[in-house]
């Protein structure tokens, strides 16, 4: 409830309906980014939920669609699943949809090793957000282009490949930017902006 205008000297109570959307992820960094991007939607609340779902092999779109629908069928509440990939052009898109596994195995050091004799260091991040409610699944995408840095560069921000990715128009890696700075230009930002437009049309 919030107080509105007064009628007869008494404050009129206005009911504000909060829509809660569950974000299925074990990564608190993603929750923080989502809340920064959607902070001006006062009647939307993003809440983290840690629930595992079967990870299929496929495109980011296929993974996000399957995951969000699978979780919705359990929760029966609005839910989002986000899947991101890091794609290096000269490596034919590797690690791509295997980004999480590659990060956990060879890490950023391994990616830099693979690029030691390569002149082309173009790369991009892509995020796909799957949203599911009683009306079915919707997908929202975001891409940010850039290049792979020569070395690992971080000021303690970011996660995963952030410390080796320099977005277009910048000379810093994502991991050298504050979360607020990164959230203004990131692939996740762009996907959530599309999601935000969708939510605004439904309010």
Q: Looking at 83, 117, 119, 162, which residue is catalytic?
A: 83
- Domain extents for the chain? 2-200
Q: Is 122 a catalytic residue?
A: no
**Residue spans of the chain under pLDDT 70:** 1-17, 203
Domain 2-200 has CATH 3.90.950.10: yes
pLDDT at residue 5 in the model = 44
Name the packing angle between helices 28-37 and 187-200 (round to 10°).
50
Q: How far apart are CA 138 and CA 9, in angstroms?
A: 47
pLDDT at residue 144 in the model = 96
pLDDT at residue 1 in the model = 34
Q: What is the pTM of this model?
A: 0.81
pLDDT in tens, 122-152: 999 999 999 999 999 999 999 999 999 999 9
pLDDT at residue 31 in the model = 85
CB 191 within 8 A of CB 127: yes
Q: How many CA atoms lie within 13 A of 100 on its CB side?
A: 9
What's the distance, Cα to Cα, between the start and end of the chain in Å?
Answer: 18
């Amino acid at each position: 409830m919030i107080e509105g205008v007064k009628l007869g000297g008494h404050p009129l109570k206005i009911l504000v309906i909060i829509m809660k959307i569950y974000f299925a992820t074990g990564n608190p960094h993603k929750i923080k980014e989502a809340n920064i991007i959607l902070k001006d939607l006062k009647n939307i609340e993003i809440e983290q939920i840690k629930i595992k779902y079967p990870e299929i092999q496929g495109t980011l779109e296929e993974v996000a669609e399957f995951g969000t629908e699978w979780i919705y069928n359990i929760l029966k509440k609005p839910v989002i699943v986000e899947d991101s990939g890091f794609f290096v052009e000269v490596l034919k898109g590797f690690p791509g949809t295997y980004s999480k596994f590659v990060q956990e195995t060879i890490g950023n050091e391994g990616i830099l090793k693979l690029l030691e004799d390569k002149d082309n260091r173009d790369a991009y991040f892509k995020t796909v957000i799957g949203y599911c409610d009683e009306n079915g699944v919707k997908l929202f995408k975001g891409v940010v282009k850039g290049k792979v840095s020569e070395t690992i560069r971080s000021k303690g921000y970011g996660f995963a490949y952030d410390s080796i990715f320099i977005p277009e128009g910048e000379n810093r890696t994502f991991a050298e930017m504050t979360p607020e700075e990164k959230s203004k230009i990131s692939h996740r930002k762009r996907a959530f902006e599309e999601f935000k437009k969708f939510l605004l049309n439904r309010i």
